[in-house]
Structure 1
Amino acid sequence: MTVLEINQLKKTIGGRELLRIAHLQVQEGQRIGLVGKNGEGKTTLLRILNGEEKPEEGMVSVQGTTALLPQLKRTDTVKSGGEITAEYVTKAMEAQSKLLLADEPTTNLDTSHVEWVEKELKRFNGALVVVSHDRQLLDAVCDTIWELESGNITVYTGNYSQYIEQKQRERQHQQTEYEKYKYKERQLTNALEQKKQKAVKATKAPKKVSPSEARITGAKPYFAKKQKKLNQGAKAIQTRLEKLEEVEKPKDHAPVKMDLPNERAFKDKIILRVEGLEGKIGDKRLWKPATFFVKGGDKIGIIGPNGSGKTTLLKRILEADEAGVYRSPAMKIGYFAQNLSVLNPEKTILENVSQDSHQSETLIRTVLARLHFYQEDVHKPVSVLSGGERVKVSLAKLFVSDSNTLVLDEPTNYLDVYALEALEDLLREYEGTVLFVSHDRRFVSAIATRILSLEEGELTLFDGDYEAFQTRDQKKERDTTEDRLLMVETAIADVLSRLSLNPTEELDKEFQRLLKEKQALQSN
């Protein structure tokens, strides 16, 4: 059953055609992830589907009721972001709408609240259209992806990871078609050049004709027809070359190799020592005294619930005279804290990012291109950019700054999924140190080589990536199970030896009990 249908929808904002959708349907129970770059119109589309905005043209037909989880939650409250989101989600669930529209429902939530929202969306029985930069949520919840680009929507079957696989196949196909196009272009160009050269040679007198005869008759009696034929052939090739349908080359990711200050002095050396550092705000203790160290080149993901003290920890590390924090003189820090005041809105993207950078313009342009600011885009003034685009410019500015250690406080907020993946690629290639706070599970998994965890008042550095951190309790449980299994097998061997010498009912019962325990342990 169709719960929503779009026909010939058109929406224009400020003279710009934002949406033009010929036909689209949402089926009962369908789970759709709506993805697209910042500023493409995802929120506007949700508002149109919910009846809050009207398109200039077209129709949106809805069978049943809709509910919207808005991106911007109310602020006239002392409740936390997680509590407010939970309230919205619960209200939407209770309404039992046929269609739920969710606009970035996990923004500013910690991991536990994100997982709760994910669970509730999976539990929802109606159709769902969700905008989210949380790729793990899109994988867990969605069976369809709508890609919004240049006003049009392309439909992909599957979750986000399957969508990415399909996009990669499309890119590979485009690369193959581009290579075929370039081969054909070279082939026709070479053939054209050969025809032209032969036509030129056809104007020369043949060797067997005397000069006097050539002056009287020219080369025409002998070569005129051949020259004409060659020129016709060249013209035909030229026409084929002009009509050859051009195939655009897929954009390649140029590698980024930066000159980092003090590189020899910090690489793989301890650049930060924290000894007995306690987290307190007034009388409130955030964490007990903690000790850990950071090496040059480490990529440390700082995780924990909202209010646990992650930002406080970053600020303590950044303070020059903080007791218990010892920084190497080789350490040069660049800090990102969602503070976009570092940008001059009257200057261009390139001017902002280049300011105070010692990197070459070629590298700066490469970094900007990796964050999807191509060619003439870099000359746009910052004042015309969306919030997400300004975040990308701020990150680019930090990335090419004169630093070898990046400290990032929630860098993924307000970035679309494409920008997120581009930032991941840049940070993976970055040879300096990175300390970052994030609730984006896939981002942490992609970047972190070590995990700094703030849980229940304990600040602990885990020497391993996020996947190993998540399974650490399971490993402890496995180790405990293996130890217990070894003890049971030893006890069975002892009981068997005693049974062989002096069988009793008590020993037989003990043997049977140990066998059952062994089977239970092996089945876990």
Structure 2
Amino acid sequence: MSLIQVSNLTFAYEGSYDNIFENVSFQIDSNWKLGFTGRNGRGKTTFLQLLLGKYEYSGTISSNVEFEYFPYPIKDASKQTIDIVDELFPDYEYWQLSRELSLLQVGEELLYRPFASLSGGEQCKIMLATLFLKEHQFLLIDEPTNHLDVEGREIVSQYLKRKKGFILVSHDRAFLDECVDHILSINKTNIEVRRGNFSSWWEDKQRQDQFELAENEKLKKDIKRLDEASKRTSQWSHEVEKTKNAGKQASGLKPDKGYVGHKAAKMMKRSKVLEQRQHSAIEEKSKLLKNIESNVPIKMTPLDYYKAQLAELRGLSIYIDDRQICSDVSFTIEQGDRIAITGKNGSGKSTLLRLLCGEQFSYTGTFLLGSQLEISYVSQLTSHLSGNLKDYAREQGIDEALFKSLLRKLDFSREQFEKDISAFSGGQKKKVLIAKSICEPAHLYIWDEPLNFIDVISRMQIEELLLEYEPTIIFVEHDRMFAEKIATKMVSL
């Protein structure tokens, strides 16, 4: 066991006016299993890069352990997988690698295939196995779940549960609950460490938020009371001056300006003291609400279709270049359905969604899609996004003000609106696609892995949106908790 001590850490990217971290201090134990959470763009990956010594910063990070980062950069994915492993960590025994692969339910025959030919989930498991060959290292595991299907996530979570000494960045609540014993959270103004899994951390956070909200209400009442008292005192001092002047003038005597001035000055001084108390109260409480996350409700406008049934698939098999992608798929899409498409990576989930969107594929069986359906689609891919948000909104034919309002509710800062979309984080790019879709009135929403890279709190906002407005939606999503809460039907490929 050793401690990783972070003291007064301050960091900003070159050319940026805003600090990502400012005077942050905390310590963690190298034996802990840390889940790392926080809103998109708060600096989770940046912090991991700071631990690796990639950037200059002020403050100190002291540790007696070395850090290893996942995912590894792969220079030549055409090589055999075993050669990739040898390059990443030449000093291992084959039986050790075999043991790790067995725990991850990966066949050893994959080692003798080109790395590029493996699925994203298989590549992820191979790299994790290699990572854990390195003993006496503190491991920095950055969003492995983005490449894993539901079954793969379960396998990897059980694997990590047996390990220790890592920071795991993930937005999958069920995944974090399975395999971490501490939570490292980037809040609005600080980084904090708490014992427990994600669910226990979230319960604690909600209690803290409620306490701060109650304190804020008390503050508002105090300010109102002080403000009214200050106004009364100010009025009192004016009345005293008027009364004294009026009394002297009525008796034909000159007013005692010294006396009146003295009394008025005392009243004004008392008024100022009360005013200062008011400002002191504001300053004293100004730190309240500093870490309350904005979970503002979002609105959408799903359209009613003129028929109850929007689509029907019976015995459907889809082909690409004579290769069967999926077979014997049968289900209907009724108005109000929220359908989760499940299945292993490569089972044809995305192809099925693209067929529903109107893309042309060869198929056998029955495929009936309602006429004049308005469809809103969220793609898995974000690499095509570039330019500014204003131009993007115009190109997509959506209302710019509504679009930006939705992004603000999903925790975009106003400064973010000035940046090129290509410079956004992975989660922020996905939010652009989701906000665009929410802006579009549609009969059917088709979302392909919408939550990849998206932070936990935004996931909860999207859950609440779908449960409140009950749009007809068909989606692929490997976040088990999200799928279980949202879906009214499950279709397994």
TM-score in terms of structure 1 length: 0.74
The answer as to 2:69 corresponding to 1:27 is: no
Q: CA deviation at 1:310?
A: 0.5
Specify the code of the residue in structure 2 equivalent to 1:53: K
Specify the code of the residue in structure 2 equivalent to 1:82: G
Q: Which residue of 2 aligns with 1:43?
A: 45
Identity score, percent: 30
Q: Which residue of 1 aligns with 2:222?
A: 184
Q: CA deviation at 1:31?
A: 0.9
Between the two proteins, the alignment pairs up a number of residues equal to 445
2:236 pairs with one of 198, 203, 207: 198
Residues 114, 320 of structure 1: alpha-carbon distance in 2 compared, 3 angstrom cutoff = closer
Specify the code of the residue in structure 1 equivalent to 2:196: G
Q: Which residue of 1 aligns with 2:85?
A: none
2:147 pairs with one of 88, 108, 129: 108
Deviations 1:160-186 (A, max 9, x none): 111111221221122112111110111
Q: CA deviation at 1:87?
A: 1.4
Q: Which residue of 1 aligns with 2:138?
A: 99
Q: In structure 1, what is the Cα distance between the partners aligned to 2:379 and 2:425?
A: 17
Residues 289, 54 of structure 1: alpha-carbon distance in 2 compared, 3 angstrom cutoff = closer
> Which segments of 5 or more consecutive residues in structure 1 lack a partner in the other structure?
455-524
Residues 147, 210 of structure 1: alpha-carbon distance in 2 compared, 3 angstrom cutoff = closer
Q: Which structure ranks higher in relative contact order (CA pairs < 8 Å, sequence separation ≥ 6)?
A: 2
Q: In structure 1, what is the Cα distance between the partners aligned to 2:188 and 2:243?
A: 61
Q: Which residue of 2 aligns with 1:14?
A: 14
2:167 pairs with one of 119, 129, 134: 129
Q: Report the 3-state secondary structure (helix = DSSP H, G, I; strand = E; otherwise coil) of the residue aligned with 2:235.
A: helix
TM-score in terms of structure 2 length: 0.79
Residues 148, 71 of structure 1: alpha-carbon distance in 2 compared, 3 angstrom cutoff = farther
Specify the code of the residue in structure 2 equivalent to 1:236: V
Q: Report the 3-state secondary structure (helix = DSSP H, G, I; strand = E; otherwise coil) of the residue aligned with 1:411.
A: coil
The answer as to 2:452 corresponding to 1:413 is: yes
Residues 6, 341 of structure 1: alpha-carbon distance in 2 compared, 3 angstrom cutoff = closer
The answer as to 2:209 corresponding to 1:171 is: yes
Q: Which residue of 1 aligns with 2:312?
A: 273
Q: Which has the larger displacement, 398-407 or 31-40? A: 31-40
Q: Which residue of 1 aligns with 2:276?
A: 239
Q: In structure 2, what is the Cα distance between the partners aligned to 1:179 and 1:151?
A: 21
Deviations 1:265-296 (A, max 9, x none): 36xx2222223322333444444433321222
- Give the 5 Å matches for 1:47-86: 47-49=49-51, 51=52, 53=54, 55-57=56-58, 59-63=60-64, 66-70=67-71, 75-76=77-78, 77-86=116-125
Q: In structure 2, what is the Cα distance between the partners aligned to 1:420 and 1:283?
A: 38
Q: CA deviation at 1:10?
A: 4.9
Q: CA deviation at 1:46?
A: 2.7
Residues 54, 431 of structure 1: alpha-carbon distance in 2 compared, 3 angstrom cutoff = closer
Q: Report the 3-state secondary structure (helix = DSSP H, G, I; strand = E; otherwise coil) of the residue aligned with 2:132.
A: helix
Query: Retained in 2: the 8 A contact 1:11–1:18?
Result: yes
Deviations 1:327-372 (A, max 9, x none): 3346310111134477551x3x3553466556694x5454222211
Residues 396, 176 of structure 1: alpha-carbon distance in 2 compared, 3 angstrom cutoff = same
Q: In structure 2, what is the Cα distance between the partners aligned to 1:232 and 1:132?
A: 57
Deviations 1:162-217 (A, max 9, x none): 1111221221122112111110111011112222222333344489959642x533
Q: Which has the larger displacement, 183-192 or 230-239? A: 230-239
Q: In structure 1, what is the Cα distance between the partners aligned to 2:380 and 2:231?
A: 58
Q: Report the 3-state secondary structure (helix = DSSP H, G, I; strand = E; otherwise coil) of the residue aligned with 1:161.
A: helix
Q: In structure 2, what is the Cα distance between the partners aligned to 1:358 and 1:40?
A: 28
Q: CA deviation at 1:413?
A: 1.5
The answer as to 2:346 corresponding to 1:307 is: yes
- Give the 5 Å matches for 1:260-409: 260-261=302-303, 263=304, 265=306, 269-319=308-358, 324-329=366-371, 331-340=373-382, 343=385, 345=387, 347=388, 349=389, 352-353=392-393, 361=401, 363-375=402-414, 377-409=416-448
Specify the code of the residue in structure 2 equivalent to 1:265: Y
Query: Retained in 2: the 8 A contact 1:18–1:150?
Result: no
RMSD across aligned positions (CA)? 3.3
Specify the code of the residue in structure 2 equivalent to 1:315: R
Q: CA deviation at 1:241?
A: 1.9
Q: Which has the larger displacement, 283-292 or 309-318? A: 283-292
Q: In structure 2, what is the Cα distance between the partners aligned to 1:95 and 1:32?
A: 18
Q: In structure 2, what is the Cα distance between the partners aligned to 1:412 and 1:270?
A: 27
Q: Report the 3-state secondary structure (helix = DSSP H, G, I; strand = E; otherwise coil) of the residue aligned with 1:239.
A: helix
Query: Retained in 1: the 8 A contact 2:2–2:65?
Result: no
Q: In structure 2, what is the Cα distance between the partners aligned to 1:235 and 1:183?
A: 19
Q: In structure 2, what is the Cα distance between the partners aligned to 1:252 and 1:35?
A: 16
Query: Retained in 2: the 8 A contact 1:65–1:99?
Result: yes
Q: Which has the larger displacement, 156-165 or 349-358? A: 349-358
Q: In structure 2, what is the Cα distance between the partners aligned to 1:151 and 1:238?
A: 29
Q: Which structure has the larger Rg over C-alpha atoms? A: 1
Q: Report the 3-state secondary structure (helix = DSSP H, G, I; strand = E; otherwise coil) of the residue aligned with 2:117.
A: coil
Q: CA deviation at 1:304?
A: 0.5
1:154 pairs with one of 192, 214, 219: 192
> Which segments of 5 or more consecutive residues in structure 2 lack a partner in the other structure?
79-115
Q: CA deviation at 1:112?
A: 1.7
Residues 130, 344 of structure 1: alpha-carbon distance in 2 compared, 3 angstrom cutoff = closer
